């Protein structure tokens, strides 16, 4: 897919902020997912939005890795790997 890493990082950050109903400006790559009050169902909704936007398909192992992520940046890194970000 060749999506720029900065674009992926920003999209994931904005998507998580939107799903968690928090201001984008209050979320950083280092922000803990616990601090955004994300739960597993909300994170799966985020993945669904990412799949729809980038055309990526996350398999069960990818989903499990995302559910183990600790920060917004961790999720962005997983998405970047999956989308072959440059």
Give the C-alpha separation, 59 to 13, whole Å: 21
**Tens digits of per-residue pLDDT, 69-84?**
999 999 999 999 988 7
The CATH T-level fold of domain 5-82 is: 1.10.1200
- CA 86 → CA 23, 28, 34, distances in Å? 28, 21, 28
Can you give the residue ranges of every domain in the chain? 5-82
Write the burial class of residue 73 (CB in 10 Å: 0-12 exposed, 13-18 middle, 19+ buried).
middle
Residues above pLDDT 70, as percent of the chain: 95
What average pLDDT does range 21-28 have in this prediction?
94
Report whether pLDDT(86) > 50.
Answer: no
């Amino acid at each position: 897919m060749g999506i720029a890493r900065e674009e992926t990082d920003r999209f994931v950050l904005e998507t998580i902020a939107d799903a968690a109903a928090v201001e984008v400006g209050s979320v950083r790559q280092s922000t803990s997912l616990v601090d955004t009050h994300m739960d597993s169902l909300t994170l799966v909704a985020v993945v669904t939005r990412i799949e729809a936007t980038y055309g990526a398909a996350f398999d069960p192992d990818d989903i499990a890795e995302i559910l183990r992520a600790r920060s917004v940046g961790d999720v962005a890194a997983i998405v970047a790997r999956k989308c072959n970000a440059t």
